Structure 1
Amino acid sequence: MKRSIITGTGKFIPHQVKKNSEFGIYVFYSDDQKRIETPSPVIADKFRQITGIEERRYAEPGLTASGMAAEAAKQAIADSGIDPETLDQIIVAHNYGDIDTGNIQSDTVPSLASRVKHQLGIRNPDCVAYDILFGCPGWLQGVIQADLYNKAGAATRSLIIGTETLSRVIDIHDRDSMIFADGAGACIIEFKETPESGSGILGAAAQSDCGPELGFIDFGPSYGPDSDEHHRYIKMKGRKVYEYAISKVPVAMKACMDKSGVAIDQLKKIFIHQANEKMDEVIIRNFYKLYDRQTIPDQVMPMSIQWLGNSSVATIPTLFDLVRKGELPDHELQPGDIIMFASVGAGMNINAVCYRY
């Protein structure tokens, strides 16, 4: 039988480190533009307790989302050993396009995927390059899309990338801005013959809730009372996102497992979107409760959020690459391991993929 198999991965982690203590100089306001009287260092420390984030990475000046994507792609291509000219498609997931340092205007024409193809020097016109906007679950949705293209006979080899420079769309007067980070992650997916018990995508699930959930994560003016009202920044209703995620994501994950025909006790690792450590822990606990499991297996959920923050579409592929290449202590993968990818983000969108490594 044929399955979609991940044959190579890569990542780009920016070198600029932004520690929580550096937010102590900012003045924070609430969404009604009233100053928050709690000292900023205290806010930053409470933020760490809630999210688990101690530091995050920001892209250096002059580095763009498409530039980071190309670097992650080069690693994935080299890891897989393919000729890039044989790629059928390049899918780039992002939310804000390329944003130059000191500028908040999003640049998405031509697409980031076209820019990546150009930077990789791929000349094959049959290699189709396009972007996908699906909130933080964008990279994983690209994986699902590549798998469907494979099954439809429209492709056999795809490059999927998640890349973002969220540091350039954050409002320094909004305490929620401390959660966001930059980075890129990539993978090569090939449609290959494999035994019934071999590697590949086993099943997937995706959902979109676009009613009142639509405004949980969006673009809005700064909370600073003296800011330019025409400038827009990423905004998130943290409590709403939390309540939505802990109830909806576990159900979608179970739907994915059920489609895949895999028993919960076979699951070795869950690569979940790194948005909030406490939220992710509750999601996983609620997921296992759906199977009447009251305890979570040790080391089932690798985490990188403590030092990388929330880089949106880049969090899962970056985390997966770290574990695949033995760069995350106490976590490793063995051939045959059943793993799951799961994400949630603006839309609100949710998806999950069950995969045999």
Structure 2
Amino acid sequence: MTRLRSVVRGCGSYLPRTVVTNDDLAARVDTSDEWIVQRTGIRQRHIAGPDETTSVLGIKAAAAALAAANLDPASIDLIICATSTPDHTFPSTATQIQAGLGIHGGAAFDLQAVCAGFVYGVATADKFLTTGAARRALVVGAETFSRLLDWEDRTTCVLFGDGAGAIVLEAQGGEGHSGDRGVLTSHLRSDGRYREKLYVDGGPGSTGTTGKLRMVGKEVFRFAVGSVTDVIAEAFAATGTTAEDLDWFVPHQANRRIIEASADKLGIAREKVVLTVDRHGNTSAASIPLALDAACRDGRIRRGDLVMIEAIGGGFAWGSALIRW
């Protein structure tokens, strides 16, 4: 053994019971199924009910991941929850997930990087595991973004949905090359100059209110396609791999046009792209683990596959991680 790797032991997900179609939204705001599908690829999304808080979604997704990994919750010594929609200002949603799973030891904390949160969470857990600070970690992406939406703004309310996904990472020995299982490399970036392109107009430290989501869609699209491919190129350079070596590209599920344009720019074949945005909408930090779990359950992602995850979120914050499954 030459180094420790953070190996995926299992993944899981949970979606709220209520499904809202584009036609349902068209009865509420000035939009149509054709308008939404043409611009985003979204056909439906799940919306959390009053009893489905962010921690409730996260607990269910985490429990599914533990079941897939065939692990007892007590074996987890680190929980990271990526979310922009916590149950409370404090305590962290991660501690509520911890309690809900019956875990009484280790550390649990939230991480906030909006839609890039899950990638940031994987990168952070990887540092704990590969330094020996933890042995097994749950990385959860859980969101109830419907609570932040202005339901009279058709440019944003049609885009988002609620849900949660999770993976279990375990420290295992590797040989130190790209054939190892586990997280091979991660690359994170942020640039706070772009705050007003995608933000929530409230908060406990400013307005004292939750606020509503605001977005300049064209600017976000331009930045997402034009600027964030750097972290993917860096992942390839760090591991000596190329787009041809990828088995699956699992990007943040924000907009089908952004996903396909980014894949084309990077030379990633479209048949290698995992898409769930049509069924889930943009679930922010939950979107990548939801897509990962969907692709694992239907047999696409298998042990030994090379998987790239990538996301951009408000801030802007963006990042990538290359994982040998």
Q: Shared fold (TM-score greater than 0.5)?
A: yes
Q: CA deviation at 1:119?
A: 0.8
Q: CA deviation at 1:231?
A: 6.8
Give the AA of the match of 2:166.
Answer: A
Aligned ranges 1:237-248 → 2 under 5 Å: 237-248=216-227
2:152 is paired with a residue whose SS is: coil
Corresponding residue of 2:197: 216
Corresponding residue of 2:52: 63
Aligned ranges 1:143-222 → 2 under 5 Å: 143-175=122-154, 176-195=156-175, 196=177, 197-211=179-193, 213-220=194-201
Corresponding residue of 2:206: none
Contact kept? 1:93, 1:161, Cα under 8 Å = yes
2:115 is paired with a residue whose SS is: coil
Corresponding residue of 1:226: none
> Matched residues in 2 for 1:184 and 1:259: separation?
30
Contact kept? 2:146, 2:160, Cα under 8 Å = yes
The alignment status of 1:52 with 2:54, answered yes or no, reads: no
- Which of the numbers 304, 315, 318 marks the counterpart of 1:347? 315
Q: Any stretches of 5+ residues in structure 2 without a counterpart?
A: 203-208
Contact kept? 1:251, 1:287, Cα under 8 Å = no
1:347 is paired with a residue whose SS is: coil
Q: Any stretches of 5+ residues in structure 1 without a counterpart?
A: 28-39, 99-106, 222-229, 289-295
TM-score, normalised by the number of residues in structure 2: 0.92
Contact kept? 1:250, 1:284, Cα under 8 Å = no
**How big is each residue's C-alpha offset from its partner over 1:308-347, in whole Å with a ceiling of 9 and x where there is no partner?**
1111111100110111111xxxx61233221100000111
1:158 is paired with a residue whose SS is: strand
Corresponding residue of 1:284: 263
Corresponding residue of 2:101: 120
1:244 is paired with a residue whose SS is: helix
The alignment status of 1:5 with 2:7, answered yes or no, reads: yes
> Matched residues in 2 for 1:87 and 1:167: separation?
30
Contact kept? 2:249, 2:307, Cα under 8 Å = yes
Give the AA of the match of 1:116.
Answer: I
Q: CA deviation at 1:262?
A: 1.3
1:332 is paired with a residue whose SS is: coil
Give the AA of the match of 2:160.
Answer: F
The alignment status of 1:89 with 2:78, answered yes or no, reads: yes
Instruction: Name which one, 1 or 2, has greater alpha-carbon Rg.
Output: 1
Give the AA of the match of 1:134.
Answer: A
Q: CA deviation at 1:147?
A: 0.6
2:302 is paired with a residue whose SS is: coil
Q: CA deviation at 1:193?
A: 1.8
TM-score, normalised by the number of residues in structure 1: 0.84
Which 4+ stretches in 1 moved above 6 angstroms?
Answer: none
Contact kept? 1:218, 1:235, Cα under 8 Å = yes
Q: CA deviation at 1:86?
A: 2.2
> Matched residues in 1 for 2:231 and 2:86: separation?
28
The alignment status of 1:271 with 2:250, answered yes or no, reads: yes
Contact kept? 1:9, 1:75, Cα under 8 Å = yes
Give the AA of the match of 2:307.
Answer: I
Contact kept? 2:195, 2:316, Cα under 8 Å = yes
Contact kept? 2:149, 2:213, Cα under 8 Å = yes
> Matched residues in 1 for 2:51 and 2:243: separation?
45
Corresponding residue of 1:137: 116
Give the AA of the match of 1:9.
Answer: C
Contact kept? 1:267, 1:338, Cα under 8 Å = yes
> Matched residues in 2 for 1:298 and 1:69: separation?
30
Corresponding residue of 2:66: 77
Give the AA of the match of 2:274.
Answer: P
Contact kept? 1:5, 1:191, Cα under 8 Å = yes
Q: CA deviation at 1:172?
A: 1.1
**How big is each residue's C-alpha offset from its partner over 1:51-77, in whole Å with a ceiling of 9 and x where there is no partner?**
000111111221100001001111111
Contact kept? 1:204, 1:259, Cα under 8 Å = no
Aligned-residue identity in percent: 30
> Matched residues in 2 for 1:324 and 1:218: separation?
32
1:324 is paired with a residue whose SS is: helix
